[in-house]
Chains A and B, each alone.
Chain A
Amino acid sequence: MGLEQLIPSLAGDGYFTTQVNKLIAWGRKNSIWPYPFGTACCAIEFMATMSSRYDMARFGAEVVRFSPRQSDLIVVAGRVTLKMMPVLSQIYQQVAEPKWVISMGACASTGGVFNTYTQIQGVDQFIPVDVYVPGCPPRPESLIDGVLQIQKIIDGQAERREFTRTSEDLAAQAAARTH
């Protein structure tokens, strides 16, 4: 992992001092196990990101788990509908702490072009989202950047946000839609 370059004392005496939190965060951020909540074309880009050309394994996040019990990063990739939102909420609750969420693409983040009665206008209304990846669908480079942002959040370099839409925001949105 190139630790010798980062921590010079490793090369010499073979030991170094740190904090347990930092050591755990270092381990966590380099072994993210993503859970792909793929419902639409974003999931195809997710597959491209995972496979050899873009190779998410370079960042330690290549072990895609299809059980929420075994993963710590949910990638919401695609449209989420009225029927799917309770499923996503339950899956979010099934992921063991600590957990992070990427909202991938326009549909998961805002509803995208699907402003209809059955389309959730952004999953961040109902589950906490850490990183939004823009695009329709995002290119693999964008998703890789999103995972790197998650890594920064994990080791404390970036602030973790809770619900980004407050209840006041939601009320204002609902009022704007009643025309």
Chain B
Amino acid sequence: MADAKPAPQLPPTHDAHSRLAKPLKENQLDHDLLQRKLGHLIKSLETVSGQTVMKFERQNVRAILEILRSDPELAFNMPTDITCVDNLRREDFEPARRFTMIYIVYSYSHGKRVRLEADLPEHDPRIASSVGIYRGGPWIEREVYDMFGIEFTGHPDLRRVLMPDYYEHFPLRKDYPLTGRGERDNFIRAEEVE
């Protein structure tokens, strides 16, 4: 019997952890620049999991997005996503910050990405629409309205986009049951229709 072959050594790139530990180039954002341009509008600026995150009060959303998009040194011209998180099931939940609006914007000219977060209270989930700043914004906001019931003030056409118009609930809220409230069982049988 021939000698046992030594186990093949995997090249270092196969180690997923070492690859994840490297900071992505696009996330090396100049925090001083952001602080200079937006410091008077934001509450905090930090790096979370390699991403730049800015927290702000909801009344400043249009001013912040306008500067991010139109300033040539920033030029965040792509609204990658506008979404929302329901914090109802979190351990540190409080009604004043039931929802967290999240804006992820990307700069094609600089190859940078930044995330913006604003808390919304339970009794009044309202925030200004990004209409007129990002052309794709109102479409994404319709989906957020459809799923979470966030009201975007100034939105030109705030209707449901995925769920049917007669639907009464906001299904991605955490107090809405996964299997719904009987909507899927309440159709008329085809043979009973005249």
Q: How far is the CB of A98 from chain B (nearest CB, A)?
A: 14
A82, A115, A120: the one within 8 Å of B163 (CB): A82
Q: Once bound together, how far apart are the Cα atoms of A120 and B186, in whole Å? A: 10
Residue of chain A at shortest CB distance from B181: A117
Docked complex Cα distance between A62 and B187 (Å) = 32
Find chain A residues with CB under 8 A from B15 CB. Answer: none
Whether A174 lies near B185 (C-beta < 8 A) is: yes
Q: Beyond A83-B164, A117-B171, A117-B177, is A89–B185 a contact (Cβ under 8 Å)?
A: no
B189 within 8 A of A: yes
Contact of B164 among A82, A119, A177 (CB under 8 A): A82
Contact A163 B189, beta carbon cutoff 8 Å: yes
A129 to chain B, nearest CB (A): 11
Closest to A93 in B: B190
A80-101: which residues lie under 8 A (CB-CB) from chain B? 82-83, 85-86, 89, 92-93
Tell me the A121-179 residues at the B interface (CB within 8 Å). Answer: 121, 125-128, 163, 170, 173-174, 177
Chain A contacts for B178, CB-based, 8 A:
115-117
Within 8 A of A (CB), among B151-183: 163-164, 167, 171, 176-183
Q: Are A126 and B190 closer than 8 Å at their CB atoms?
A: yes
Are B179 and A115 in contact (CB-based, < 8 A)?
Answer: yes
Is A118 among interface residues, defined by CB-CB distance under 8 A? yes
Answer whether residue B7 sits at the interface, using C-beta atoms and an 8 A cutoff.
no
Majority SS of interface residues in chain B?
A: loop
Contact A125 B185 (CB under 8 A): yes
Q: Does A117 contact B184, Cβ atoms closer than 8 Å?
A: yes
From A177, which residue of chain B is reached at the shortest CB distance? B179
Distance in angstroms between the alpha carbons of A94 and B39 in the assembled complex: 63
Complex interface: chain A residues within 8 A of B190 (CB): 89, 92-93, 126-128
CA distance A41 to B163 in the complex (A): 22
Q: How far is the CA of A47 from the CA of B58 in the complex (A)?
A: 51
CA distance A130 to B6 in the complex (A): 62
Q: Which of A92, A126, A174 has the most CB of B within 10 A?
A: A126
Report the nearest A residue to B187, measured CB to CB: A126
Q: Across the interface, do B171 and A86 meet the contact criterion of CB distance under 8 Å?
A: no
CB distance from B193 to the nearest CB of A (A): 7
Residues of B within 8 A of A170 (CB): 185
Bound together, the chains give a CA A55 to CA B182 distance in angstroms of 41
Residue among B164, B181, B191 with most chain A CB within 10 A:
B191
Return the contact of A125 from the options B176, B183, B189 (Cβ within 8 A).
B189
New contact pairs (6) apart from A89-B193, A118-B183, A125-B189, CB-CB < 8 Å: A89-B187, A93-B190, A117-B178, A121-B185, A126-B189, A127-B190
Residues of B whose CB lies within 8 Å of any CB of A are 163-164, 167, 171, 176-185, 187-191, 193
Residues on A lying within 8 angstroms of B by beta carbon are 82-83, 85-86, 89, 92-93, 115-121, 125-128, 163, 170, 173-174, 177
22 residue pairs of the A-B complex, CB under 8 angstroms, read A82-B167, A83-B163, A83-B164, A89-B190, A89-B193, A93-B190, A93-B193, A115-B178, A116-B180, A117-B176, A117-B179, A117-B181, A117-B184, A118-B180, A118-B183, A121-B184, A125-B185, A126-B188, A128-B191, A163-B189, A174-B185, A177-B179
